[in-house]
Structures are given as C-alpha cells and as structure tokens.
C-alpha cells in the first residue's frame, strides 16, 4: 500500500512536526510557529496546511488532494486535546484563527479570519465558559464581519456596510468606541450583520463550524491570486508557483476586558534601527485592530507600566528570538487575562537607514559577522539614504506662515510633496499627468498597494508605527506619516479637514517622514548628506546616514569581485560616478553629445549632405566638439578605463521634422527644400532599430567613424601630454558578424596610428571591442573574439532581438503579459536568465575559449539591477556598468552576489 502523502503539520505544547528550515513547505509563518514551539515559547497549538496544497488547488480546479480532510480532522483533534476544548461544541467550544503564510513575508496581501467556529449556539457556550457575555458577542460580531468580507466577499471598495451598521448602533446608544458597546448592543449588531448577509448573498450566514473552516481555507488559497497579492509578487519578484500555506491556530483572546490586549513589537526600532524594543499595543482588542490601523495604539513602552510582568516576559522572548534568528524580529502577541502568547515572528521590515544601522551594530555586538551583514542587506535600500530632505529654512518659513497643518507618527523617513490623492486611481491619474501625489487615507488596506507604489508619500489619519501603511512604506522606501488623528477624511466629498481648514483632492501638501509633520503647499527640498558630501564636496558633520553609508561601502568593496563602472556621457557625470565609487566608464554614448543646441544643426548638415565631400565641413566642426568632449571625460577619469561607443542610433533620429528646422538646413547647405526633403525621406526605414545603425553606419559612412576615432585619439594625446593617464576602450556597436568588426577595427587602428604620428605623442593604451547585443554575435562569439579585445553586453538590444519585441512599442502589451503571468517579469528590467541569459553564457564561454582572459562586462540598463548583477557574477563577468546614482547599489549588490555564491 502506497504511503499517504503528508500535507498537514501540527505544533503545540512545546512540540512541532516542522521547523524554521521548512519555509518552502510550511511558509514563513508556519515554519516560525513550529520553531517557536521547539524553543519552548508560549505559542497556541495549531497546524499548517502545506504550500503544496495551494499549488494543487490551482492546478486542479479549486479542489484538494486526497486525504487532506482526514489529515485536517486529525490535526484538529490534536489541538482539542492540548486545549481541552472541542471544535463546534456547544458547551466548551474551540475557536481558531485561519491565516495565510507564504514562504516570503507578504504583509497584509492575503487573508485572515479570526474567531472561527462561532455560531448562535457556540457563542452561548463561549459566554458561559468565560463568564463574559460581552466578550463572546464582541468576538461573534468580529467573526461575522471578517468572514463576510474575506470568504463571502460582501465588502466593495471603501464602502463597508458592516462598519456602517456598527457606527449606527454606536451613535444610537451614545458610544464613542467599539469596546463601550454592551452585550445587548453587540447582540443587535450581530443580528443586523446576519440580516445584511442574507440580503446581500441570498443565503444565511453559515452555522456549521466545519463549513466555516473549509470556507476560510479556500478563501486563503484564493487570496494568493487576488489583485493585491499579484501586484505585490510582481513588485518583489516572488514566484507565483510558490503558493501559500494555511495556518490554523487555537484562538487566544485580547478582547477579554482590561487584563487582555494585543500588539506588534520589533526587537529593534524599524525606522531608526535603535536597539530597543519597539512597537504598539491595544488593550481589550484583537490583532487586526492594531495592524489595520482602525484604532491608534499605545507605544509598547507604556505596557511596562500597565502590565510590567508581561512586558518583562515580552522583552525576554524578544531577546531569545533575535539571538536565535540573528536578525531583528517582528512579533505579534496577545495577552489573554494576564497570560502572554506569541502568535508570529518574522524578520522585520525596516527602512534603509535602519537596515544599515542594525547590520553594523549586530556585527559590533558579535551577533553576526561582516559577511552576514552584507548578505542580509537589500542593495536597493541604499537609495533611501540618497533621498532629499526638506530645506529647513523653507520649512521654518512655512511654519511661520501658518502652513503647518498637523503632525502624526513618522513611519517612513524622507521628504515628500505632491497632490492629495484619496484613492489609488487618483494617484495613478496624477502621476500619468506628470505630478507627484501623496496617497491620503483614513487608513490604508492591502487593496491600496498600487497607489502606495506610485505615490511619493503616504499619509493616514489612523494607525500606528506597526500599521499596514507603516509596514509597507518602510518596505517600499516611501515617505510615510501615520496616525494624524486631527485629519478627517471625506471620501464622498473628496476632501480632508484639519480643524477649520478644508483641502480638496488635488491640493498640494508636504509631509516630513522624519518629524511626522504635515504642511500645506510644496516645501523645497535639499540633497541628502551623502549627496552633499560626495557630489557637492561639502564638509558634512554629524550625519548618522553618512556614517552608515561609508561603513557599509567599505565592507562591500572588500568582498566584491565585480568591478563597477558607470554609464556617462559628460565630464560632470563622470565626476558624480567617481564620487560614488565608480572604477571606470563602461559606456559613453557619443551620439548623446550631438543633441546640444549648438550641435544638432551641424549633425543634420552632416547627415543630409549629398556626398562625402559636402560632409567633410560639418564633420570637421563635429571633430573639434567631440575632441573637447572626450578630453573632458579623460581628465575626469584620470587613468580609469573609458569605454566609448561609436555612433549607434539610426540617423533619422537626428533629422528635422518641422518646416522651420528643414528651412534652416536648406539655408545651411544651399540646397532646395525639395532636395532636403528627398534626403530625409531616403533615411526613413520601416524598422529603424534593425536598420542602418551601429556598425552598419560606420561601414556605409566610414568618414563618420573616422572623425570619431580621430577625436578620441587626439583627445587622448592632449590629456596624456598634460600628465594624466588615459585608458581607452573603443566599442563598436551592433556587430553580428566578425567581418563587420574587422572592417571597423581596421579604421580604428589606421586612424590611431596616423594621429599618434601627427601629434607626436607616445601611443595611448587602447583596446577595440564590441557590444554583444545580437543573438548571432553570442552564437559566433568564438569567431568575434578573434578580433574583439573585449566584450560588453548591450542587454537592452540583446533582449529586444532575442524576444523579437521593441522596447519602445512593447508598453502596449507588456503590462498585460506580466499581469496575466505570460511573462514572469519585465525582461527589460532584469535579465531573463533562461533566454537572454543563456545567450550571454554562450558568448562568455565561446569568447574566452578563443581569447582566454577576455574582459567582459555589461552596460545595458540592467547593469544596475541587483538581480542582474547576481547573474553577471555567476557568469564571471569582469564588471557591470550603470548610471552614476546606481553605482552604490551596484557595489553592494556585487558584494552580496560574491558572498551568496560562497
């Protein structure tokens, strides 16, 4: 007889069938619940339905695998034995929570149901068992509300008919808060809730605990594919095929009057990184009250005065968990009549500054080593240290002018200003119009994920430092202020009110994520301390952010193997990149120098000249311009490698399009309008990105590349005579056949020899290589490498030509592809390892088989993408090249890639 596959894993009473290493099977939450049991911490008993069931659920038309129900029944019996309660019993009912739990934390994206198992009979048993009728009916109304939303889908958008009933009953009875409602008033709420369910769904609210349980399990699995979960997975590149686990756990109650409560705590401050227990709690409440931000909770420090024994135990457990996991932990807890229970632990989301501080201080404390610290950091968090802050003088003036509206809790550091947007749709509309927007809500919910992503800042009237808004803002690196209780949000009128001031959607506000202040109008910003020191050369004193940045960058440079170059077309861009730690220029786009106001007319004259003779005069003008450009870059780089790409775009991109521009060319060249228009028409192509561009231009118009090479070599001689070293890499673009490269290299060498002789300078060190951006070049890389002295992957074009799609035109359908799972991610954002990546690997292996030690890098936009940098390290490339402001991110990503591969 075949062995029955295990899908359900139990935990409780200090024992567990799983542990922290089983995240792939149990999800992060389930694995950590099992681990806390093994550590002997107070965790309510329960069980985990494995992620594999979720995968089966979607692959088999929302059905469950054989024997799952029997395994769940057996696990529930185990919980009953430990708790001495019975699921569905009228006298001694066991209630459970049902929660999601993917292997990677997705806070708030999927669904949770609390108090499951209540019905008209068991609520009476719960009241009798606890001696607290009010508590029993409060739990019942919470359950109906949550189940109707999550399982029955009766809430739509911002309209919550259950909240409307609750508010009506409170108003009628003169109650300000939920916990002031009496048992009889809560019974009225329950009755009206059930009537609403019947009206909305056409069915009575389910009374069977068994039916409730499987309804909740199915809802959690279905939530894996809800819009907000899919959006979150796209944002953080979480594979859809992972699925979620379902965690079923015996209820413990934070809403059992004054000696009960619930909270969320971090073992360190997630905003600043300070080493102190940090969090919030509410008495007489359940967990969703804290996380959802419906009530503004109290700082965790107040618990020390209110319930000192529980606070001391929480501190003790926090220390155990941080020492065990070697990382800052985010825990959820409930106190039931003076007894502390741990409901969850996970690595806490934190701001970029906090992440750096925690990593450095944990190394100092001996908890982790420097390599662990680098492995843990997300390279993109460095962007937060580069973000601007408000200019203090402008902010002070705004306060003096009476523009300070209110203040809340500073949940996400930084400075943000934009239009008030009361919905995701409003945020996206303003951003589409070119404006910045502040998502402004009573409290955010997981459905706001798209708006939070697009907004520059987030502002809520409710919630605390552990609310959904605060948690997601820290993860996204967004400026965030929460818990501004003076703000009244009127969604129907599209207005917010703060005292006597009324602002409408579209009005402008500024929020300070360091102080929590909200100000009317736009406040000017100033660069961060990192930018001020490294780009502006200021003497910045006492900046913690700068200190953290310098510390981490020193570690990163020690551990990385990949060199980090920059994509730069101007001397000032080179200086910026060097300040950020760039070790060379991996891509200088010569054509970008042609678009200056004083140059474009000369370029057009060169292109539209009827023959090579007429082309010589504008080329001579361009020679002087390009020589000066290159000399400036060589001076800035002072001995660091400079890779200059010869002209690449199709010539039509430079041509005039309106009558006035054409008339200027007519006068310049002394031709007729008809002749010039004929020339313009000659350059038009049906598919210009695959037409006359790159090395094809150099072959068809050799005088153009001759001018560029002459400019490069003369500039190199000038700078070398000034006493500076020049290392020049000449890059020929869009090569598909080695013969193309042979043709162009011959021109480079011939012009270089002539210039060196004419200038009387010692030979400049230069190499001739090619951009690898055509699949054929990858396939024939062994032949190409016979001529090429270096390779540089142009992954923008390599992706286009591999996929057969245009980056410029694919925006019409690419989002649909990604949203519907046809493509797992945008192939232009991160390297497609299975397609483009395989071609890159082929080029590396074949190129180095011909020329051992061949230098190979990447200079496409993906050169600054951490995911792509990891892949480049795996391919054993020599360098990555990215924009100046991505250089710090690339340095850290390269170090992380090197350490992760050990």
Q: Which residues are catalytic?
A: 468, 859
Locate all alpha helices (DSSP H) within 248-364, ordered by sequence. Answer: 287-291, 303-306, 308-325, 352-364
Task: Write out the two tokens for 465.
Answer: 């430092």
Q: 887-900 and 544-559 helices cross at what angle (nearest 10)?
A: 50
DSSP per-residue letters across 146-185: HHHHHTS---BTTB-HHHHHHHHHHHHTT-SSGGG--HHH
Angle in degrees, CA 485, 491, 495, rounded to 5: 70
Backbone CA torsion sign across 709, 715, 719, 724: negative
Sequence-distant (≥ 6) Cβ neighbours of residue 216 within 8 angstroms = 98, 113, 116, 147, 150, 151
Q: How many Å apart are CA 439 and CA 480, to the nearest integer? A: 9
Check residue 277 and report its DSSP letter. -
Q: 673-683 and 600-608 helices cross at what angle (nearest 10)?
A: 90
Task: Write out the two tokens for 694.
Answer: 């790159």
Q: How many Å apart are CA 211 and CA 194, to the nearest integer? A: 16
Check residue 42 and report its DSSP letter. -
629-635-641-644 Cα dihedral, nearest 10 degrees: 0
Q: 866-874 and 887-900 helices cross at what angle (nearest 10)?
A: 50
Task: Write out the two tokens for 394.
Answer: 């402008």
HEC secondary structure over 67-111? CHHHHHHHHHHHHHHHHCCEECCCCCEECEEEEEEECCCCCCCCC
Q: Is 891 helix (H, G, I), strand (E, B) or coil?
A: helix
Sequence-distant (≥ 6) Cβ neighbours of residue 867 within 8 angstroms = 237, 830, 831
Q: 544-559 and 352-364 helices cross at what angle (nearest 10)?
A: 70
Residue 901 backbone dihedrals phi, psi, to 5 degrees? -90, -5
Task: Write out the two tokens for 457.
Answer: 């800042």
Continuous segment of H or E residues that includes residue 748: helix 738-759
Q: Is 490 helix (H, G, I), strand (E, B) or coil?
A: strand
Strand order through the sheet with 96-102: 15-16, 8-12, 46-49, 244-250, 96-102, 112-116
Task: Write out the two tokens for 398.
Answer: 């705004």
Q: How many Å apart are CA 475 and CA 425, to the nearest integer? A: 22
Task: Write out the two tokens for 780.
Answer: 């024939």
Task: Write out the two tokens for 603.
Answer: 């370029």
Q: Is 57 left (phi over 0), alpha (psi -120 to 50) or beta?
A: alpha
DSSP per-residue letters across 761-789: -PPPEEEEEEEE-SHHHHHTHHHHTTT-S
222 CB-side CA count, 13 A = 13
Task: Write out the two tokens for 389.
Answer: 């802050």
Are the beta carbons of 415 and 435 closer than 8 angstroms? no
């Amino acid at each position: 007889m075949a062995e029955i596959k295990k899908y359900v894993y139990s935990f409780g009473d200090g024992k567990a069938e799983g542990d922290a290493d089983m995240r792939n099977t149990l999800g992060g939450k389930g694995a950590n619940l099992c681990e806390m049991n093994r550590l002997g911490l107070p965790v309510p008993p329960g069980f985990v339905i494995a992620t594999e069931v979720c995968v089966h659920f979607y692959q088999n038309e929302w059905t469950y695998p054989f024997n799952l129900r029997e395994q769940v029944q057996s696990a529930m019996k185990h919980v009953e034995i430990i708790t001495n309660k019975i699921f569905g019993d009228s006298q001694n009912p066991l209630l459970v929570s049902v929660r999601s739990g993917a292997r990677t934390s997705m806070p708030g994206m999927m669904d949770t149901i609390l108090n499951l198992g209540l019905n008209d009979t068991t609520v009476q048993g719960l009241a009798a068992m606890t001696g607290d009728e009010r508590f029993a009916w409060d739990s019942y109304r919470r359950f109906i509300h949550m189940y109707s939303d999550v399982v029955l889908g009766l809430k739509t958008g911002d309209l919550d008919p259950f909240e409307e009933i609750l508010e009506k009953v409170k108003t009628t009875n003169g109650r300000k808060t939920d916990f002031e409602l009496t048992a009889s008033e809560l019974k009225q709420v329950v009755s009206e809730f059930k009537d609403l369910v019947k009206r909305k769904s056409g069915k009575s609210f389910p009374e069977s605990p068994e039916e409730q349980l499987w309804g909740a399990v199915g809802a959690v699995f279905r939530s894996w594919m809800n819009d907000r979960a899919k959006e979150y997975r796209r944002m953080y590149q979480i594979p859809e095929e992972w699925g979620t686990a379902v965690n079923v756990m015996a209820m413990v109650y934070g809403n059992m009057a004054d000696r009960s409560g619930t909270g969320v705590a971090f073992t360190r401050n997630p905003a600043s990184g300070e080493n102190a227990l940090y969090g919030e709690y509410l008495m007489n409440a359940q967990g969703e009250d804290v996380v959802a931000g419906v009530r503004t909770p109290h700082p965790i420090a107040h618990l020390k005065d209110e319930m000192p024994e529980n606070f001391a135990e929480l501190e003790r457990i926090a220390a155990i968990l941080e020492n065990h996991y070697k990382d800052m932990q985010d825990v959820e807890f409930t106190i039931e009549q003076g007894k502390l229970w741990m409901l969850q632990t996970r690595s806490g989301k934190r701001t970029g500054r906090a992440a750096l501080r925690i990593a450095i201080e944990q190394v100092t404390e001996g908890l982790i080593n420097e390599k662990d610290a680098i492995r843990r950091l997300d390279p993109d968090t460095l962007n937060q240290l580069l973000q601007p802050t408000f200019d203090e003088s402008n902010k002070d003036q705004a306060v003096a002018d009476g523009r300070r509206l209110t203040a809340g809790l500073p949940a996400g550091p930084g400075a943000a200003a934009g239009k008030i947007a009361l919905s995701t749709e409003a945020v996206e509309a303003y951003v589409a119009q070119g404006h910045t927007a502040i998502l402004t809500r009573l409290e955010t919910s997981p459905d706001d994920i798209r708006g939070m992503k697009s907004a520059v800042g987030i502002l809520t009237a409710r919630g605390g430092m552990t609310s959904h808004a605060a948690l997601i803002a820290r993860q996204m690196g967004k400026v965030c202020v929460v818990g501004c209780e003076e703000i009244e949000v009127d969604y129907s009128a599209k207005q917010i009110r703060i005292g006597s001031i009324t602002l409408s959607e579209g009005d402008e506000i500024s929020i300070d994520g360091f102080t929590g202040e909200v100000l009317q109008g736009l406040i000017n910003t100033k660069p961060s301390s990192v930018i001020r020191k490294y780009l502006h050369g200021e003497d910045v004193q006492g900046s913690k952010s700068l200190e953290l940045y310098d510390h981490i960058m020193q570690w990163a440079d020690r551990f990385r193997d990949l060199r980090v170059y920059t994509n730069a077309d101007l001397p000032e861009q080179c200086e910026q990149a060097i300040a950020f730690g760039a070790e060379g220029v991996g891509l200088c786009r010569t054509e970008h120098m042609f678009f200056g106001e004083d140059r474009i007319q000369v370029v057009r004259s060169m292109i539209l000249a009827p023959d090579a003779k007429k082309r010589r005069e504008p080329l001579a003008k361009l020679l002087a311009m390009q020589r000066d450009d290159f000399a400036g870059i060589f001076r800035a780089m002072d001995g660091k490698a400079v890779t200059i790409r010869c002209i690449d775009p199709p010539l039509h991109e430079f041509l005039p399009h309106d009558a006035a521009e054409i008339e200027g060319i007519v006068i310049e060249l002394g031709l007729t309008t008809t002749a010039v228009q004929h020339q313009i028409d000659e350059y038009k192509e049906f598919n210009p990105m695959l037409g006359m561009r790159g090395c094809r231009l150099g072959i068809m118009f050799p005088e153009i590349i001759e001018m560029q090479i002459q400019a490069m070599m003369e500039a190199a001689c000038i700078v070398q005579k000034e006493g500076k070293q020049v290392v020049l890499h000449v890059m020929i673009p869009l090569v598909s056949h080695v013969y193309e490269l042979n043709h162009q290299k011959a021109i480079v060498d011939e012009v270089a020899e002539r210039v060196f002789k004419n200038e009387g300078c010692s030979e400049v060190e230069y190499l001739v290589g090619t951009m690898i951006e055509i699949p054929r070049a990858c396939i024939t890389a062994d032949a190409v490498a016979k001529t090429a002295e270096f390779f540089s992957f142009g992954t923008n074009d390599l992706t286009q030509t591999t996929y057969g799609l245009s980056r410029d035109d694919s925006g019409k359908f690419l989002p649909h592809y990604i949203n519907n799972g046809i493509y797992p991610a945008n192939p232009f954002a991160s390297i497609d390892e299975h397609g483009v990546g395989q071609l890159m690997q082929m080029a590396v292996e074949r190129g180095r088989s011909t020329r051992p030690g061949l230098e190979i890098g990447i200079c496409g936009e993906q050169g600054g993408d951490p995911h792509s940098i990891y892949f480049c390290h795996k391919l054993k490339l020599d360098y990555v090249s990215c924009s100046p402001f991505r250089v710090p991110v690339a340095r850290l990503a390269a170090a992380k890639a090197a350490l992760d591969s050990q």
